[in-house]
Structure 1
Amino acid sequence: MECTCDYILKTQPDWEEHYENCKVKWIAREKRDYPKNNDGTLRLRNKHLLKLDYDVLYHLGLDTKTHDLQAMFGDVKFVCMGGTKYRMKETAKHMANILDIQCDFKNIVKQGHRYALYKVGPVLCLSHGMGVPSMTIALEEILKLLHYAKAKDPIILRLGTSGGIGVTPGAVVISSSALNDTLEMCYKLAILGEEKKFPCNFDKRLNQELLSVADSEDFETHLGVTLCANDFYRGEARTDGAFCDYTEADKQTYLQKLLQLGVKNMEMEATAFAHFTSAAGVRAADVCVTLLDRLLGDQVTPEKEVLTEWQKRPAKIVGNYILKYYNK
């Protein structure tokens, strides 16, 4: 069987030979059709969409009737996603600078009144809000957009903030896998009143490549498990919310358990992000900076200038990676 990897970096000793969405690995692992066409474009995963006269990407304010999505987005190779509109605009500015691309930084989806989307040549920078529900709405519509645009072999990278577990504040964590709020390595979703569970691993080869380009930066970068919570306060074992049903000792016992499970950070999107991208056959990585060590406290206390600098770190790693691809 022919390998379908479009390698970004040359294989190094101990690296995975193939990406997880390579046809060689996919056919050996999955019990469903390969999710990409021969030219690297994404297959439509939902056959019900074929019955529509046109598809409305409602939350992005785009549709397949009045917008030529292939003309607008057909050259897209990378999608960078993150929580806030401000951070993703700054990410777009960083990509424009390192790729030397002129950009007006216009919010393409302003008419949707929910998200912000900036296009810098072949790179999209999209805000997705906070938490799984907001993120998955944006992600599902972006996946459909990439299909309609006939984008070839797209890569989606989430650039986030998180709470660290036993790592230096300001360090970056690249997620190897994700645990849900009951410490299972799966994404849970109730469909038609019945709970379904889906795997949520990330691409090992892509993570290895990202770690290699992170070596040139002057901050720590770790590979580790990410806990995905459904709530910022009690869901992440904080004691500083409006409600708290446990003691400080209870919290510390739980955090130590996470540490033993290999968890290096916690945020609110990783399980769903891993599942949706892998199910679509899209390579993806979750790259988050840590704003504090949760073993030592609950509140984010560094000065604004420090936090602003830290929040640029995922974009630096991802930018280095994208630059490697275009220099190649």
Structure 2
Amino acid sequence: MPPTGLIAVNSEDCERCNEDYEEEYEFHASVCVWTRYSDGTVKLRNSNIELMDQDILYHLALGSESHDLHEMFGDVKFVCMGGTPKRMENFAHFIMGEIGYKLPAGTKLEDISAYSYRYSMYKVGPVLCVSHGMGTPSVSILLHELIKLMYHAKCQDPIFIRIGTCGGVGVEGGTVIITEEALDSHMRNAHEFTILGKTVLRPAKLDKKLARELKALASEDDPYDTIIGKTLCTNDFYEGQGRLDGAFCEFTETDKMEYLEMLSSKGVVNIEMESTIFAALTYHAGIKAAVVCVALLNRLNGDQVNAPKEVMHEWQNRPQTLISRYICKTLAQKGQLKSLSRGSIKSPRRFKLVQQESQAHE
């Protein structure tokens, strides 16, 4: 059991604190002490936000006073993120069919953040589908604003899931990979930040119970493997991942293969460019999170992605299928969905200003 007084809310009220408690103790402590109110809504680790007249989420083209964020997003339970706008638009349409969500008559699925020109965001009932771009800086910007959005919307215990692509290490193309640990280029289960000129390391931890739940939803009928393993996150697609086909390369193929074999020996099964920042910020926010990717190639066999387009498209649908199974299972246990209301603009004047502010930050 935790030391007396460490848990700030009644642990009996916290669903996660009653399951696998010892294994997930650090996560539970973080959630209960720092990042949750007693009703499960998100608490920010930044007191400055409460003192602001309006919090403008300008990369999302939203604002805490221009929009009724609680009305728009208060029912969100799942935040699904992927690299490209088109992929997340496709996922939004896919999950709509999977959960049986119906749009109001005469309406269509809209990009909520269209005025930002940076990210795309679609809401399908309790599921928020958002593009995060490529690489850690883009993901970091988006996560800061999404976490604040969860706070302003008073979302209760949201789950964040990254759906992506990656290069496999000893894993063939088409394999679905659930991240167990996110490692940086120095093999640390952490993400390195530079804040006010100082280096800060934050743990890059994902929810292991969630990873196991996802793995359990893989079907024997799936014509591909679904595995759990360690993920290496790099800041570069070419040299940082040991590719020989970049504009620069100052190492040999032997060097590359020795490096990849070393990664494999330490349990790394894939390489991508977002997992450590995603894990570090969601963990710091006390948000339950998972990363599910599909391998586009086996890096032990080459560097270039050359599978046919139709094959790539089918592969990229595989993580979406697994996530949809999890969402459907969870929603089946928790009840009805709620349609998005159109009466979500509190102040037309502030709404216009937020759009203009977002467009000005290029």
From 128, 131, 151, the counterpart of 1:127: 131
Measure the CA separation in 1 of the matches of 2:250 and 2:205: 31
Q: Secondary structure at the match of 1:284?
A: strand
User: Counterparts of 1:47-196 in structure 2 under 5 Å?
Assistant: 47-103=47-103, 104-196=108-200
Q: Alpha carbons of 1:25 and 1:159: their partners in 2 closer, same or farther (altered >3 Å)? A: closer
The one-letter code sitting in structure 2 at the alignment partner of 1:184 is: R
Percent of aligned pairs sharing the same letter: 45
5+ residue gaps in structure 2?
1-9, 334-362
Task: Kindly state the Cα deviation for residue 48 of structure 1 after the two structures are TM-superposed.
Answer: 1.3
Measure the CA separation in 2 of the matches of 1:99 and 1:220: 24
Residues 55 and 65 in structure 1, CA contact (< 8 A), matched pair in contact too: yes
For residue 202 of structure 2, what is the aligned residue in structure 1?
198
For residue 11 of structure 2, what is the aligned residue in structure 1?
2
Q: Secondary structure at the match of 1:274?
A: helix
Task: Kindly state the Cα deviation for residue 3 of structure 1 after the two structures are TM-superposed.
Answer: 3.8
Residue 220 (str. 1) matches residue 225 (str. 2) = yes
Task: Kindly state the Cα deviation for residue 215 of structure 1 after the two structures are TM-superposed.
Answer: 3.0
Q: Secondary structure at the match of 1:178?
A: strand
Q: Secondary structure at the match of 2:192?
A: strand
Residues 162 and 267 in structure 1, CA contact (< 8 A), matched pair in contact too: yes
The one-letter code sitting in structure 1 at the alignment partner of 2:138 is: S
Measure the CA separation in 1 of the matches of 2:311 and 2:14: 39
User: Counterparts of 1:273-288 in structure 2 under 5 Å?
Assistant: 273-288=278-293
Measure the CA separation in 2 of the matches of 1:112 and 1:206: 32
Larger radius of gyration: 2
Post-superposition Cα deviations, 1:135-160, rounded to whole Å, max 9, x if no partner, equal: 11111101100110001110000000
RMSD between aligned residues: 1.9
Measure the CA separation in 2 of the matches of 1:210 and 1:40: 23
Aligned pair count?
318
Residues 19 and 205 in structure 1, CA contact (< 8 A), matched pair in contact too: no
Post-superposition Cα deviations, 1:32-70, rounded to whole Å, max 9, x if no partner, equal: 933111111001211111221110101001111110000
Residues 18 and 25 in structure 1, CA contact (< 8 A), matched pair in contact too: no
From 326, 331, 340, the counterpart of 1:326: 331
5+ residue gaps in structure 1?
none
The one-letter code sitting in structure 2 at the alignment partner of 1:57 is: L
Q: Alpha carbons of 1:25 and 1:136: their partners in 2 closer, same or farther (altered >3 Å)? A: closer
Task: Kindly state the Cα deviation for residue 263 of structure 1 after the two structures are TM-superposed.
Answer: 0.3
Q: Alpha carbons of 1:61 and 1:5: their partners in 2 closer, same or farther (altered >3 Å)? A: same
Task: Kindly state the Cα deviation for residue 90 of structure 1 after the two structures are TM-superposed.
Answer: 0.9
Task: Kindly state the Cα deviation for residue 2 of structure 1 after the two structures are TM-superposed.
Answer: 2.4
Task: Kindly state the Cα deviation for residue 26 of structure 1 after the two structures are TM-superposed.
Answer: 2.7
Q: Which has the higher contact order (CA 8 A, sep 6+)?
A: 2
Post-superposition Cα deviations, 1:147-191, rounded to whole Å, max 9, x if no partner, equal: 100011100000000000011210011111111112222100111
Measure the CA separation in 1 of the matches of 2:226 and 2:174: 9
Measure the CA separation in 2 of the matches of 1:31 and 1:21: 11
The one-letter code sitting in structure 2 at the alignment partner of 1:54 is: Q
Measure the CA separation in 1 of the matches of 2:45 and 2:234: 27
For residue 35 of structure 2, what is the aligned residue in structure 1?
35
Q: Secondary structure at the match of 1:159?
A: strand
The one-letter code sitting in structure 2 at the alignment partner of 1:210 is: L
After TM superposition, the structure 1 stretch with the greater mean CA deviation from structure 2, 281-290 or 217-226, is 217-226
Residue 298 (str. 1) matches residue 300 (str. 2) = no
Residues 179 and 231 in structure 2, CA contact (< 8 A), matched pair in contact too: yes
From 246, 266, 273, the counterpart of 1:241: 246
Q: Secondary structure at the match of 2:143?
A: helix
Measure the CA separation in 2 of the matches of 1:255 and 1:88: 31
